[in-house]
Amino acid sequence: MSTSTPASSVSPSPSAPAGEAPRTVPTVPGWRRRLRPYLLSLPALVVVVGILYPFVVGAYYSLLNYAAVNPDPHLVWFKNYASVLGDQVFWSSVATTGLFAVAATAIETVLGVGLALLLNRSSTVGRIFEKVLILPLMIAPVIAGVIWKLMFNPQFGVLNHMLGLGNTFDWLSRSNALWSVILVDTWIFTPFVAILVLAGIRSLPKEPFEASEVDGAPWFYMFRKLMLPMIWPYILVAVIFRFMDNLKVFDHIYVLTAGGPGVATRSLQIGAFEDSIINLNYSRGSTYMFLLWIIVFITARVLVGVLGKAQRRAAGAES
């Protein structure tokens, strides 16, 4: 009785063409395969350490009485926090920062969405303006602050001359300074919102809008019922970026007003700068920055939660 030999479970390698040696796949040593994930994650680890180290040092400094007049600091625990939270100037800075962030973000969002809707219309003027729109974003905020400070000058500034205000209207007076700073921020960063929202509009499907046009739906109805719900996540992304950045604003405010007149435009960042760099009280400046981080962290968590709900609603996962 004959027995058949079982077929091999390993398929033979394809034969090499005539005259050529069979190709061999190089094998990677096991230690290299195990080491590869750690090498790939090394840049991210360096970035994390570069971020966490200054943060931890700053948080530690806020628990000391470290200043230029006290080069041998020791722990005072939460006395800096009690001092800062009990200072009326700090709460004035919080109010100024909050008003600036809310007003600037709201104005930039409304104007940015409006510009995006205009640029979405195919026209030669729109295509040209789309290229010009990015120019304010290419100017550093410090340089933009210098330019606008010259334009705001009541004696030889171009704004007073163009608007017929004479040389009596002071754009950077106590009552006007904050709104003038908001105007500069709006000029710089409205294009960012417009470009982001425009990218969202151009990614929308065409079929619902074409069907609505066939049914005779007016433009505002299509915007309110079709376009706005679908681009709402893009708008929220722009709001998150701008609101977080406006909470940490420093550069063009300091160039324009240095936090003045008085404390009219003194943001939390400027308060930290004055305590740390000008007054050389490093621990108090670190306390300002850590409290600002807490505000930004809580606000970011809330806004990201709202963005997640908006994305699920736009995808139809929530009613």
Is residue 263 domain-resident?
A: yes
Q: Output the domain CATH number for residue 251.
A: 1.10.3720.10
User: Could you please report the per-residue DSSP string of 4-45?
Assistant: PPPPPSSPPPPPPPTTSPPP-PPPPPHHHHHHHHHHHHHHHH
Q: What is the pLDDT of residue 11?
A: 46
Is residue 21 domain-resident?
A: no
**Structure token digits, residue 311:** 């994305």
Is residue 222 domain-resident?
A: yes
Residues 221-280 pLDDT 10s: 788 888 888 888 899 999 999 999 999 889 899 999 988 888 889 999 999 999 888 888
Q: What is the pLDDT of residue 17?
A: 55
pLDDT (mean) for 166-183: 88
Nearest to 259 by CA among 282, 240, 244, 275: 275
Residues 14-28 pLDDT 10s: 555 555 555 665 666
* pLDDT reading at 153 higher than 70: yes
Phi, psi dihedrals of residue 50, rounded to the nearest 5°: -65, -25
**Structure token digits, residue 64:** 């000391």
Question: Higher-confidence residue: 133 or 82?
Answer: 82
Residues 56-110 pLDDT 10s: 888 898 898 888 888 788 888 899 999 999 989 999 999 999 999 999 999 999 9
Is residue 1 domain-resident?
A: no
CA quadruple 96, 101, 106, 107: dihedral sign: positive
Is residue 59 domain-resident?
A: no
Q: What is the pLDDT of residue 122?
A: 66
Global pTM reads 0.81
Residues 200-221 pLDDT 10s: 888 888 887 778 778 777 888 7
Count of the separate structural domains present in the chain: 1
In sequence order, the 6+-apart residues with CB closer than 8 A to the CB of 96 are 178, 263, 264, 265, 266, 267
Parent domain of 223: 79-314
